[in-house]
Structure 1
Amino acid sequence: MVTFIYMFLILLSVSTLYPFLNAIVISLNEGLDTSKGGITLWPREFTWENYSVVFQDERLMSGFFVSVLRTVIGTVTAILATAIFSYGMSRRELMGRKYYMIICIITMYFGGGLIPTFLLIRELGLMNSFWVYIIPSLISVWNMIIFRTFFQGLPAGLEESAKIDGCGNWGTLFRVVLPLSGPVIATLALFTAVGHWNEWFLASIYISDEKLLPIQTILKQILASNIVSEQTASMDAAALAHLQKAKTITSKSLSMATMMVATLPIVLVYPFVQKYFVKGVLVGSLKE
């Protein structure tokens, strides 16, 4: 039975990892050779040309910078705003706390829809603005519930001691509660960062300036085009000349290289916060 379980887990791991590994191999293989097929787990004609073209494309590098900036600012502000909101919702002395909670939960299941949201974003002056990535996603009700439950599980004596020492609500939150909430903060920060990094839909609706497009939206356009000429139209003269000289780049190889550039940074973050997952999410969501 144990052998069967291990065999099943190995097959599951291979089936999960293979598409990602195959994408890496294709991105490192000569494009024209890839078009012949048969590329599996090792490059047949190894080359860096695909990545060379990607890093010479100013549009992609601009999108990468926007994505990094959006992820950092969006994660920090969202975790801070949600933590403050959650701390208030965790106070038992808050009048109408249950009704506020019901209102918050309703927003998890019912939304205004795309058109009302578009009109709201336009009236707020967030169209074609970097802040359209940040402000609408400041509060996550799901993260608030996890934060709130975690805060309620902290010993009441800690806050009482802080108040005796002269701390108000803000002092208690920032000097006592948040320093003790490392696991749940790390876990929710990772989930929030992944959401910001992978999100592409907002930019496709609210952003028309190419300089504000994140790399995921640009990648979506690349994968949708499937025509190398549409990729080269946005490159500078040096990159275009390099591509014409190489004669080995195809739409598929260029797409895989772009996908790796967009995916690997956030994937590399996971090992550093993996140890917080169980302690942060399970404790924060199951204790009551």
Structure 2
Amino acid sequence: MTFQRELKEKWRVEYTEMGFPAVQKGWVLPVERWRDFDPFILMAEDWFKKGTFPDHPHRGFQTVTYVVDGRLEHIDNAGGREILEPGDVQYMNAGWSARHAEDGVEDDIAHTLQLWLNLPKDQKQSGTLYQNVYQEDAPVISFGGGSVKVFSGNIAGVTGPLDSIVPITLTEWTMGEGASYTMSLPENHNAFVYVLAGEAEIGVERQKMSKHEAGLLTFRENGGEDSTLTIRSKKRRTKVLVYSGKPIREEIVPHGPFVMNSMEEITQAFEDFRNGKFGPPAV
């Protein structure tokens, strides 16, 4: 029988008021639990204005940034400059040496979800790259009372445009009251859900989740088949994000803007940045 995903645990995100130009922050996935979330390291939910995240470096991991509201300007030191709007996603492979800035636009308060995705040890020296996925370019699966937008992975024969070094799935579920949908996921993918709006029931056991709640799903790490995930909406407007990825199972050291496999490698990353090996500032 096909493995049916259920909600393993859930928690409500707690938020902290920040000092200007930052506004508010919450840890959807707290970094100290990265072993439970593997291959995901953390996910931060931020509200911020221009000047919060100026030029800064990264090494050893990837980011997937979903814009909830406002506008987000991305600038990198390879000449990239883009403005992302609500529903858009940006993927970055920091690899060896990313240097960029992320800011609100003009007087906007940018509201974002930024996921940190680990890289295997043999990919931490890979080349830096960026990919913008605009919401209108992500294919949509429609069903009675709702739709699923596919940003990454292959869902129901539909492939999302986001092409990460570590393959993941990322889908956005938009549902009206009473709507239900069942989706296939690789059973060996660790997966979590985050409710952006409304109220949903997760799995065949129909465990309830509401806005600002995140939850880990059950999975079979050694499985090689597909599993199913069923979500039902209990409100008129429900929006849920579902992320999944195969665990890497390597020890890591998340420290500041870097994620490496040892503290020695972290020290080397800071030294390389001070010595200009990450290139010029992103301005």
TM over 0.5: no
Structure holding more strand per residue: 2
Larger Rg: 1
TM-score, normalised by the number of residues in structure 1: 0.25
| Higher RCO (C-alpha under 8 Å, 6+ residues apart) | 1
Question: TM-score, structure 2 length as denominator?
Answer: 0.25
Larger helix proportion, structure 1 or 2?
1
